[in-house]
């Protein structure tokens, strides 16, 4: 089996995306990078080039389908396609559910959900046509597996990414494709995500002042993380090799998931006390 030769990474200008790009470059892979922030993107490109690999960097907005399609088409022309795709770009807003504006919803849905969908639509058919082993990683969040006060819009988009990724994995299995899928679900860790507003489009500008108490909680959570973006990138590459679907880097996320699932099943049992439990199904990638 030939080694993966090229990776495409969205949101590569900062945080987890930058570390994914550098981790792939350290593997000797060519990297195609995109980000909405040209200066940050150029910085990552320089860092990857210094590792001696071929680098392509294109500024763009993942929420714009035509820009993602142009990026995929350039990747094909330059590298003959990519083996690994990281749909990683993401943004966040905070505040109680009732204070979320229509602009909040439009912005987060565009970047966090349509950004991932656009990547899959433009890259996966090209992977299928190549008929070589490939892998897609979608960055969701621990907020896509469980929920927290103050994160309604973010959490809704990340739950959507988890559901979309699970369906993608099942669709690829059904198609008999040798394309693995992973969904990356970190809890808080230090990156630029708490300053997402720097990339918010003018036409979707915030119409209410952000709730500062939530911002403080996020900053404290980030500072308390025992792992950083470099660790998350390393765990993600390990998961690709092992074809593990759920990539859950923080140990405490296990408890949040367990609590949520118990709450669902407890309430289900209250309504259906005599229902027998059927055997657990296999996770995606494992059938
Ligand atoms: N840091 C955390 O605590 C955390 C936790 C869970 C999940 N995540 C997810 O990790 C991913 C990466 O975020 P990060 O934490 O590294 O934050 P970050 O802000 O450091 O990096 C995100 C990158 O995405 C880029 N970006 C924003 N909007 C874009 C757009 N429309 N098109 C293209 N690029 C765009 C930004 O310029 C930035 O370089 C996101 O999907 C985020 O939701 C982060």
Q: Is 47 part of a structural domain of the chain?
A: yes
pLDDT in tens, 28-79: 999 999 999 999 999 999 999 999 999 999 999 999 999 999 999 999 999 9
Q: Is 277 part of a structural domain of the chain?
A: no
Question: Is it the case that residue 211 has pLDDT exceeding 70?
Answer: no
Question: Is it the case that residue 287 has pLDDT exceeding 70?
Answer: no
CB atoms within 10 A of CB 176: 6
Q: Is 284 part of a structural domain of the chain?
A: no
Q: Is 1 part of a structural domain of the chain?
A: no
pLDDT in tens, 146-193: 999 999 999 999 999 999 999 999 999 999 999 999 999 999 999 999
Question: Is it the case that residue 281 has pLDDT exceeding 80?
Answer: no
Q: Is 172 part of a structural domain of the chain?
A: yes
Q: Is 191 part of a structural domain of the chain?
A: yes
pLDDT at residue 3, as a whole number: 83
pLDDT at residue 210, as a whole number: 62
User: 47 lies in which domain range?
Assistant: 6-271
Whether 154 is a known active-site residue: answer yes
The pTM of the full predicted model, rounded to 2 decimals, is 0.96
Question: Is the CB of 137 inside a 6 Å radius of any atom of ligand 1?
Answer: no
Helix (H), strand (E), coil (C) string for the chain: CCCCCEEEEECCCCHHHHHHHHHHHHCCCEEEEEECCHHHHHHHHHHHHCCCCCEEEEECCCCCHHHHHHHHHHHHHHHCCCCEEEECCCCCCCECHHHCCHHHHHHHHHHHHHHHHHHHHHHHHHHHHHCCCEEEEEECCHHHCCCCCCEHHHHHHHHHHHHHHHHHHHHHHHCCCCEEEEEECCCCCCCCHHHHHHHCCHHHCCCCCCCHHHHHHHHHHHHHCCCCHHHHHHHHHHHHHHCCCEECCCCCHHHHHHHHHHHHHHHHHHHCCCCCCCCCCCCCCCC
Nearest CA to ligand 1 atom 31: 61
- CATH number of the domain bearing residue 175: 3.40.50.720
Question: Is it the case that residue 209 has pLDDT exceeding 90?
Answer: no
User: How confident is the model over 115-134, as a mean pLDDT?
Assistant: 98
pLDDT in tens, 212-227: 778 888 999 999 999 9
Domains identified in the chain, total number:
1
Determine the residue of 18, 89, 253 to mutate for testing ligand 1's pocket, defined as the one with the most ligand atoms within 8 A of the Cβ atom. 89
Q: Is 105 part of a structural domain of the chain?
A: yes
284 Cα to the center of ligand 1, angstroms? 25
Choose, from 84, 107, 123, 154, the residue flagged as catalytic. 154
Nearest CA to ligand 1 atom 40: 90
Q: Is 279 part of a structural domain of the chain?
A: no
116 Cα to the center of ligand 1, angstroms? 12
- Tell which atom from ligand 1 comes closest to the C-alpha of 186: 6
pLDDT in tens, 237-261: 999 999 999 999 999 999 999 999 9
């Amino acid at each position: 089996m030939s080694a993966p030769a090229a990776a495409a990474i969205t949101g590569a200008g900062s945080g987890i995306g930058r570390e994914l790009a550098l981790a792939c470059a350290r593997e000797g892979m060519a990297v195609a990078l995109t980000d909405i922030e040209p200066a940050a993107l150029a910085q990552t490109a320089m860092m990857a080039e210094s590792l001696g690999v071929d680098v392509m960097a294109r500024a763009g907005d993942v929420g714009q389908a035509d820009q993602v399609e142009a990026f995929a088409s350039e990747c094909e022309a330059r590298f003959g396609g990519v083996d690994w795709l990281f749909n990683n770009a993401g943004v966040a807003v905070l505040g109680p559910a009732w204070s979320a504006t229509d602009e909040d919803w439009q912005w987060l849905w565009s970047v966090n959900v349509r950004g991932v969908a656009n990547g899959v639509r433009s890259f996966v058919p090209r992977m299928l046509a190549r008929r070589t082993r490939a892998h897609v990683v979608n960055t969701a969040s621990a907020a896509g597996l469980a929920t927290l006060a103050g994160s309604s819009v973010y959490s809704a988009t990340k739950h959507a990414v988890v559901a979309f990724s699970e369906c993608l994995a099942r669709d690829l299995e059904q198609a008999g494709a040798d394309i693995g899928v992973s969904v990356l679900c970190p809890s808080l860790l230090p990156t630029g995500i708490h300053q997402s507003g720097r990339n918010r489009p003018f036409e979707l500008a915030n119409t209410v002042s952000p709730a500062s108490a939530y911002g403080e909680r996020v900053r404290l959570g980030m500072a308390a993380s025992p792992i950083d973006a470099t660790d998350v990138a390393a765990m993600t590459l390990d998961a690709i090799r092992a074809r593990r679907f759920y990539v859950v880097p923080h140990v405490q996320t296990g408890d949040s998931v367990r609590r949520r699932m118990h709450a669902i099943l407890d309430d289900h049992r209250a309504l259906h006390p005599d229902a027998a439990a059927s055997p657990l199904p296999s996770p995606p990638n494992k059938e």
